[in-house]
Amino acid sequence: MKSIEIRKTFLDFFASKQHQIVDSAPMVVKDDPTLMFTNAGMNQFKDIFLGNMPRKYARVADTQKCLRVSGKHNDLDEVGFDTYHHTMFEMLGNWSFGDYFKEEAIAWAWELLTEVYKIDKNILYVTIFGGDEKDKMPKDEEAYNFWKKWIAEDRILLGSKKDNFWEMGDTGPCGPCSEIHIDLRSEEEKKKISGKELVNKDHPQVVEVWNLVFMQFNRMANGSLVELPAKHVDTGMGFERLCMALQGKQSNYDTDVFQPLIQHLSQLSGIKYGAEKMSDVAMRVIADHVRAVSFAIADGQLPSNNKAGYVIRRILRRAVRYGYTFLNFKEPFMHLLVPVLTEQMKGTFKEIASQQDLVRKVMMEEEATFLRTLETGIRLLDQQIQKAKAENKTEISGQDCFVLYDTYGFPIDLTELILRENNMTLNHAEFETELAAQKDRSRKDAAVDTDDWVIVKEGELTKFLGYDQLEAEVEILRYRKVKAKNKEQYQLVFSQTPFYAESGGQVGDTGYIETKSGEKIPITYTKKENLLSIHLADKLPQNPAETFKAVVDQKSRQATACNHTATHLLHYALRQVLGTHVEQKGSLVNDRNLRFDFSHFQKVSLEELVKVERMVNAMIRQNIGKTENREMNIEDARKLGAMALFGEKYGDKVRVMQFGDSVELCGGTHVNATGDIGFFKILSEGAVASGIRRIEAVTAENAEEFVYSFQRMAHEMRELFGGSGELMQAVTKVVEHNEKMNKQLAEMMAERVTEIQKRLVEDAIETGDYALIEIHAELMPEIIKDVAFGLRKELKNVVFIATGVNNNKPYIHLLLGDDVVAKGLNASAIIRESAKEIGGSGGGQPFYATAGGSNENGIANAMNKIKEMLQIKV
Ligand code: SER
């Protein structure tokens, strides 16, 4: 069976069992502080498990893009070295939300594997939860009994909490689980040792394929378990492992999921897969990582220097570094695999196909940057090695290697490899100390202490009223305390709210809640966590159970609305002016300005920007009214021309925001008519990454303010340039004057040089072998150089040494005449030695070299050293 059929068979099977087939959620998680990337199929249903949100369907199935590279589930270090772990993988899953439970989950899993996929029952084992004393949990008898119906009892194994109690993270929904393992070894191997002994023992051919989790509990911040309101099923089957089993392979990488990538890599590198251990590892690493990085970029997460972006950057760098070292790629190569991946995935995940160009461009640029870093790192390391060799050492300090690692992103294992090649080692203890200190620093920076929710009242959570009103009567349903960096805050969840919670690029609302007694407690921000609206406050009202008046800061909300609607108009105008390849790649809207990132492959010209700006302002003057539909079918919305963004999660019903021809799916708050915006002004246009441009703009009062400040600047400039009348005229006058002065200065300098030169030749000391000229003066380096080159023409045996202080820094220049150089003397080598005396460095050519330093007092010694070195040689 081809992988495409395997995937389809799974979905068809569960559809036949009345499951609704849903799309994969984006791989990059937006509104969950406990999670950066989707690490399991159940993430998108977390709120349903917790009872925060009602279920839409009782039974659901899908294939979910997962990435396990951070947090509780992190497989990154194994990837490539073994044959069955991945960073990005697909998880096939079926769910029951308060519907069927263990019996059906077990029966259907068995039916699918053994009757539909026709896997031999004799190569399957199952595990069940064996109980845990600390959590006071008994063995999962129920699951045991249901399994007994299908599989011999000696194939049902008891597992520990580590393997058979599934948790998403430190807190959240969890429960006992039952895993299905498959033994893919040869008959001969099986005779030697029973598969039973190898379950959960990291054997590459005895692997877990499917995990059936019976969600029953919520793990609280204090570690205790609380029963969930209803019981659920969450199953996850590793798609790539299933393909290995069904395609009769010994490794995930031998399946048709990875082989096209590996074959292409083999072609590009000229190295066969299977030729050698480390080149095989490298190919597996790259074939795996190119998937993770491509899907992350397609989901809107560009590689960057922090958080999720940094994780993606590190994955990419890991791949490049393996390619560089073991496959001899010295130029960007990974992006060449993107078309192969697109071809494979386009039927299942359309985000990859439609953004192929962008993914390639971003990847290529990242690769190129990192390859340059590698070259720099290798050069720096080489300097360390030379230095150590000169000092007869065989060990490089851990601190130096840490700087390479931390500042230049140079991988430590590459450092070790290079050192080994030079018969050197690195001081591991020192390196580890530095690393631990850094980890400690960042942990302290990021540490957040979150208490469990205190439930004030039961009730359906947070109805959003803020599209229609900015004030409302609200009740606090639950609250909790959060401590980060010694700052305490309260998070409040209301029954209903006029406050908009940050999402879709629009910042959250601020305002206050007012108690019955008239006390106002500021709401400092509103954000989303999964689907909950969370209001932040520095203190808790004395009686959280009373009713409050919640009031949104109207001025800030209106300014934000202007910027949000303007963003839609900008998006529309960009597609009109530049073309429909323009797609939103990021957006930030607050009460001061708007920032819009979009795909476009070159700089937007000034004329184009003006066109866009004019178009937006024309739409503002037309005062187009808002047409809002809060509950449109997604298909109808698409027909209307609304564009869905990749990396966003949409339901079947969407909110459609229309201003004339601009139609967008959007949950944000907007002006009633475009005229409210008043005026739109672009402030800047630039690149954010390869293929992605950013426009920053202002509207309304902020745009007006910008024009005034521009006017003020023009006025001040005119004053500064001493002109009355036109600014341009005044500036032109100063520029012309400047040019004249420069010419005069150049003439004067030339005269000065000739003069100095003449005097120096007269004062030269004949030492027998050469004419020695020394000067010590505060001169511009250009003048010294001109003088030196003049002397070179005049005296073949000149030795010219100029020292002095320029800009508070000591300098030395050394010129050797042609006859002196012919004797084998080298100005560059001499200056490098003498530079040490002034605490600096230097270099140049054999006839002329310069040095700069920091210690003025060393000049005399430096001079002596130069003379000494010359005399030794003469
Ligand atoms: N959540 C479980 C897992 O990730 C089953 O889907 O293994």
Q: Is the pLDDT of residue 36 over 80?
A: yes
Q: Are 238 and 83 in contact (CB under 8 A)?
A: no
Ligand 1 atom with minimal separation from the 237 CA? 6
- With bands split at pLDDT 50, 70 and 90, how would you rate the model's confidence at 276? very high
The Cα–Cα gap between 841 and 438 comes to 31
> Residue 780 pLDDT more than 90?
no
Residue 287 has pLDDT above 60, yes or no: yes
**What's the pLDDT at 38?**
94
Average pLDDT over residues 344-348: 91
Beta-bridge partner residues of 536? 491, 525
Q: Residue 179 C-alpha to ligand 1 middle, in angstroms? A: 10
* pLDDT, tens digit (0-9, with 9 covering 90-100), for 163-222: 999 997 788 889 999 999 999 999 999 999 999 999 999 999 999 999 999 999 989 888
Residues 6+ apart with CB under 8 A from 782: 749
Name which of 521, 495, 497, 499 is nearest 510 in CA terms: 499
Distance of CA 636 to CAs 25, 33, 56, 571, 677, Å?
A: 21, 34, 20, 21, 29
What local confidence, expressed as pLDDT, does residue 592 receive?
Answer: 96
pLDDT of residue 126: 98
Mutate to test the pocket of ligand 1, among 24, 89, 168, 177 (most ligand atoms within 8 A of CB): 177
Mutational test site, ligand 1, from 213, 215, 237, 241, max ligand atoms within 8 Å of CB:
213
Give the Å distance between the CA of 783 and the centre of ligand 1. 73
Q: What span, in angstroms and rounded, lies between the C-alpha atoms of 181 and 176?
A: 16
pLDDT digits (tens, 9 = 90+) for 805-832: 988 899 999 999 999 999 889 999 999 9
- Token pair belonging to 231: 């019981």
Residue 293 near residue 341 (C-beta atoms within 8 A): no
- Encode 353-369: b = buried (16+ Cβ within 10 Å), e = exposed: eebbebbbbbbbbbbeb
> Which backbone phi and psi does 743 adopt, to 5 degrees?
-65, -45
Confidence of residue 531 (pLDDT cuts 50, 70, 90): confident
Question: Pick from 18, 15, 11, 9: which is nearest to 116 by CA?
Answer: 9
Q: Is a pLDDT exceeding 80 seen at residue 444?
A: no
**Under a CB-based contact definition with an 8 Å cutoff, are residues 826 and 847 in contact?**
no
* Residue 9 CA, ligand 1 centroid: distance in Å: 20
In whole angstroms, give the CA distance from residue 117 to residue 568: 49
Phi, psi of 133 (to 5 degrees): -70, -45
pLDDT over 60 at 633, yes or no: yes
What DSSP letter does each residue of 387-420 carry, written as one string? HHHHTT--EE-HHHHHHHHHHH---HHHHHHHHH
CA distance 513 to 494: 11
pLDDT band at 515 (very low <50, low <70, confident <90, very high): very high
Q: How far is the CA of 144 from the centre of ligand 1 (A)?
A: 19
Q: Which residues of 124-148 are buried (b: 16+ CB within 10 A; e: fewer)?
A: bbbbbbbbbeeeebeebebbbebbe
The pLDDT of residue 600 is above 90: yes
Which residue from 90, 211, 241 has its CB within 8 A of the most atoms of ligand 1, so it is best to mutate?
A: 211
Q: Looking at ligand 1, which residue's alpha carbon is closest to its atom 3?
A: 236
- pLDDT at residue 480 above 90? yes
Relative orientation angle of helices 412-421 and 356-390, to the nearest 10 degrees: 40
Testing ligand 1's pocket by substitution, the residue of 37, 42, 72, 242 carrying the most ligand atoms inside 8 A of its CB is: 42
Q: Which pLDDT value is given to residue 228? A: 86
Distance CA 350, CA 665 (A): 19
CA distance 602 to 693: 8
Find the 212 Cα to ligand 1 centroid distance in Å. 7
- Which atom of ligand 1 is closest in space to residue 41's alpha carbon? 6
pLDDT at res. 701? 96
pLDDT at 770: 85
Q: Compare 117 and 70 and report the one with higher pLDDT.
A: 117
Which atom of ligand 1 lies closest to the CA of 73?
Answer: 4
Kindly give the number of the ligand 1 atom that is closest to the alpha carbon of 91. 6
Distance 168 CA to ligand 1 centre (A): 8
> Using CB atoms within 10 A of its CB, is residue 518 exposed (0-12), middle (13-18) or buried (19+)?
exposed
Q: What is the mean pLDDT of residues 467-489?
A: 91
Measured by CA distance, the residue closest to atom 2 of ligand 1 is: 236
Q: Which pairing describes strands 547-552 and 532-537: parallel, antiparallel, or unpaired?
A: unpaired
Residues 119 and 113: their CA atoms lie apart, in Å, by: 6
**Residue 803: its pLDDT value, please?**
94
CA–CA distance, 598 with 7 (Å, rounded to integer):
33
Q: Where are the beta strands (DSSP E) in 777-874?
A: 798-806, 809-816, 841-844, 848-852
Query: Would you call 651 helix, strand, or coil by DSSP?
Result: coil
What share of the chain has pLDDT > 90, as a percent?
72
Please give the residue that has the higher pLDDT: either 462 or 2: 2
Residue type, 776: H
List b or e across 683-698, with b for residues whose CB sees 16 or more CB atoms inside 10 angstroms: eebeebbbbbbbbebb
pLDDT at 749: 86
Q: What is the DSSP letter of 115?
A: I
> For 661-667, which contacts have Cβ atoms below 8 Å and span 24 or more sequence positions?
661/572, 662/568, 662/569, 662/571, 662/572, 662/619, 663/637, 664/568, 664/571, 665/634, 665/637, 666/504, 666/564, 666/568, 667/503, 667/504
Query: pLDDT-based confidence at 872, cuts 50/70/90?
Result: very low
Taking all residues of the chain, what is their mean pLDDT, rounded to a whole number? 92
pLDDT of residue 874 exceeding 50, the answer is no
Q: What is the pLDDT of residue 873?
A: 42
- Rounded to the nearest whole angstrom, what is the distance from the C-alpha of residue 235 to the centroid of ligand 1? 6
Backbone angles phi, psi at 761, to 5 degrees: -60, -40
Q: Nearest C-alpha to atom 6 of ligand 1 is from which residue?
A: 236
Q: What percent of the chain has pLDDT over 70?
A: 99
pLDDT tens per residue across span 407-418: 777 888 788 888
Q: If DSSP codes are grouped into helix, strand and coil, which group holds residue 731?
A: helix
**Site of tokens 């005895």:** 206
462 alpha carbon – ligand 1 mean position (Å): 29
Atom of ligand 1 nearest to the CA of 93: 6
Of 140, 147, 141, 142, nearest to 164 by C-alpha is 140
What does the pLDDT average to over 247-256?
96
| Three-state SS at 575 | helix
| C-alpha distances in Å from residue 351, one per residue of 235, 304, 573, 638 | 25, 21, 24, 16
Q: How far apart are CA 407 and CA 578, in angstroms?
A: 39
Distance CA 307, CA 298 (A): 17
Check if the beta carbon of residue 321 is closer than 8 Å to that of residue 315: no
* Structure confidence at residue 524 (pLDDT): 96
CA separation for the pair 574, 604 (Å, rounded): 10
- Which residues form the pocket of ligand 1, taking CB atoms under 6 Å from any ligand atom? 40-42, 93, 166, 211, 213, 234-236
The model's pLDDT over 131-164, given as tens digits with 9 standing for 90+, comes to 999 888 999 999 999 999 999 999 999 999 999 9
Q: How far apart are CA 225 and CA 216, in angstroms?
A: 9
**What does the block give as tokens for 723?**
């002109």
Which of 74, 216, 234, 237 for a ligand 1 pocket mutation test, highest count of atoms within 8 Å of Cβ?
234
Residue 96 has pLDDT above 90, yes or no: yes
pLDDT mean over 227-239: 93
Q: Give me the torsion for CA of 184, 190, 196, 201, rounded to 10°.
A: -60
**Out of 258-262, 319-323, 572-576, least confident range:** 319-323
**Cα separation, 113 vs 126, whole angstroms:** 12
381-395 per-position pLDDT tens digit: 988 899 899 899 999
Structure tokens belonging to residue 181? 């393992």
Confidence of residue 644 (pLDDT cuts 50, 70, 90): confident
Q: How far is the CA of 127 from the centre of ligand 1 (A)?
A: 14
pLDDT at 530: 77
52, 32 Cβ separation under 8 angstroms = no
- If you average pLDDT over residues 41-45, what whole number do you get? 92
